[in-house]
Amino acid sequence: TQLLEQSPQFLSIQEGENLTVYCNSSSVFSSLQWYRQEPGEGPVLLVTVVTGGEVKKLKRLTFQFGDARKDSSLHITAAQPGDTGLYLCAGAQGAAGNKLTFGGGTRVLVKP
Amino acid sequence: GAGVSQSPRYKVAKRGQDVALRCDPISGHVSLFWYQQALGQGPEFLTYFQNEAQLDKSGLPSDRFFAERPEGSVSTLKIQRTQQEDSAVYLCASSLGDRGRGELFFGEGSRLTVL
């Protein structure tokens, strides 16, 4: 059982549509990170959020950290085929630094 | 090198064989992590090194798994008497700071298939 639950597990949309991926937990995290992983590659860091209620924007991607630091969301506006990939959230707890607990991932497919 | 390098990229082993997976972190990075990623799952923590010291091995699934980083640079993950459930991608990651502080950079992984 994953400590971090991601939903949905799979998302298929058309180019230009919006999408939201959720990451939920019953545990509090000192920080939460979002990664994107492409087939045959390692995960690549997109963003780190550390403050409850924090919102960060990275071009068409908007990341939000819940007030209680237990959940997060990733919203992509006007998705493009290049956004296709496995999106992973990962939480760090206390002094464990970057000993990360990963969610199960959301596989996103953006069709042209 | 420019990034984290792992070898071999692909390894097929017969059940019962021993395997060794190598990780070359980014030069100067203090922290090194090993993760295991089963098909369709997120990565799961195996072990953590700070320089040559293995500070956390709580994620190693059994005593068949052993990791070392003798000179605080290259690391090797060894799996003895491989079992089919060991089939997974093994990811190595490094970061500049201690306790994994700073951005974590992942290698491309070593995909292990145990027949």
Residue given tokens 């085929």 in the structure block? A81
DSSP SS3 for A83: helix
- Give the pLDDT band (50/70/90) at residue A30: confident
- Give the pLDDT band (50/70/90) at residue A62: very high
pLDDT at A3: 84
pLDDT at A96: 54
pLDDT at B1: 53
Q: How many CB atoms lie within 10 A of CB A67?
A: 11
What value does the mean pLDDT of chain A take? 91
pLDDT at B6: 98
Per-residue pLDDT at A9 exceeds 60: yes
CATH number of the domain at B81, please: 2.60.40.10
Per-residue pLDDT at A19 exceeds 60: yes
B31 contact residues in A (CB cutoff 8 A):
97-98
Residue B65 host element (H or E): strand B65-68
Query: Residues of chain A with pLDDT > 90: what percent?
Result: 75
Interface of chain A toward chain B, CB-CB under 8 angstroms = 2, 4, 6, 33, 40-45, 88, 90, 92, 95-105
pLDDT at A35: 96
Per-residue pLDDT at A59 exceeds 80: yes
pLDDT at B65: 98
Domain residue limits, chain A: 5-94+101-111
The total number of structural domains in chain B stands at 1
Half-sphere exposure of B27 (CA within 13 A, CB side): 2
A5-94+101-111 maps to CATH 2.60.40.10: yes
pLDDT at A31: 87
* Average pLDDT of the residues in A59-69: 94
Q: Backbone phi, then psi, for A35, in 5-degree steps? A: -125, 155
Question: Which of B32, B49, B104 best probes binding to A when mutated, by most A CB atoms within 10 angstroms?
Answer: B104
Per-residue pLDDT at A104 exceeds 60: yes
Query: In this structure, are residues A52 and A66 in contact, taking their beta carbons and an 8 Å threshold?
Result: yes
Q: Is A98's CB within 8 Å of B31's CB? A: yes
Q: Backbone phi, then psi, for B86, in 5-degree steps? A: -80, -10
Q: How far apart, in whole angstroms, are the C-alpha atoms of residue A68 and residue A38?
A: 30
Task: Decide if B100 touches A, using CB distance below 8 A.
Answer: yes
Per-residue pLDDT at A111 exceeds 90: yes
First to last CA, chain B: 33
Q: How many CB atoms lie within 10 A of CB A74?
A: 23
pLDDT at B98: 75
Instruction: Give the domain range for residue B95.
Output: 5-114
Q: How far apart, in whole angstroms, are the C-alpha atoms of residue B31 and residue B36?
A: 17
Q: How far apart, in whole angstroms, are the C-alpha atoms of residue B13 and residue B15?
A: 6
pLDDT beneath 70, residues of chain B: 1, 99-101
Residue A42, both tokens: 């390692």
Q: What are the counts of helices (DSSP H) followed by strands (DSSP E) for chain A? A: 0, 11
Q: What are the counts of helices (DSSP H) followed by strands (DSSP E) for chain B? A: 0, 11
pLDDT at B100: 64
A98 contact residues in B (CB cutoff 8 A):
31, 33, 95, 99-102, 104
Query: In this structure, are residues A112 and A99 in contact, taking their beta carbons and an 8 Å threshold?
Result: no
* Average pLDDT of the residues in A85-99: 80
Q: How far apart, in whole angstroms, are the C-alpha atoms of residue A53 and residue B70?
A: 42
Per-residue pLDDT at A60 exceeds 70: yes
